[in-house]
Amino acid sequence: MHTESVADDAREALLAKQREINALIHDLTDLLDTAGDSANRSRGDRYGLSTERHSQAGTLQELHRQAHAITRALAKIDEGTYGGCDSCGSTIPPDRLEFRPWAVLCVPCAAGT
Ligand SMILES: [Zn+2]
């Protein structure tokens, strides 16, 4: 059936993205753990580094959000609700899912929170 093949394609894309995100989270967590040490070593870069560190922490937070959405999207495939909005139940446009396979909310719901 057509919807099943869409979900199968999405599952492949989501699993690949999940591996990518987990690797990025791992790298960034390591980087943030060691950033404190290098700040002590080069005082001149302290302000630049702390700004960079702040943005890396923000990126890490964003990656965790995305990892969470991917997990939820995979669960929705298993539930058979993939492609439906988690909040209002309306259908998520296929071109949105193609661009963001991990989308679990329709555009208005994603924008409204
Ligand atoms: Zn919605």
> What is the average pLDDT value for the chain, to the nearest integer?
86
The CA 17 to ligand 1 mean position distance, Å, reads 23
Band of the pLDDT at 75, cuts 50, 70, 90? Answer: very high
Is 80 exceeded by the pLDDT of residue 107? Answer: yes
Contact 10, 103 (CB under 8 A): no
The CA 81 to ligand 1 mean position distance, Å, reads 13
For the stretch 44-82, what's the b/e string if a residue is b when 16 or more beta carbons lie within 10 angstroms of its beta carbon? eeeeebeeebeebeeebeebeebbebbeebbebbeeeeb
Contact 110, 103 (CB under 8 A): yes
> CA-CA distance, 56 to 34, in Å (whole number)?
12
- 14-23, 46-55, 86-95: segment of lowest average pLDDT: 46-55
The CA 9 to ligand 1 mean position distance, Å, reads 22
pLDDT above 90 coverage of the chain, percent:
65
The CA 113 to ligand 1 mean position distance, Å, reads 11
**Predicted TM-score of the model (pTM):** 0.76
The CA 82 to ligand 1 mean position distance, Å, reads 13
The CA 24 to ligand 1 mean position distance, Å, reads 29
Mean pLDDT of 71-100: 95
Band of the pLDDT at 51, cuts 50, 70, 90? Answer: confident
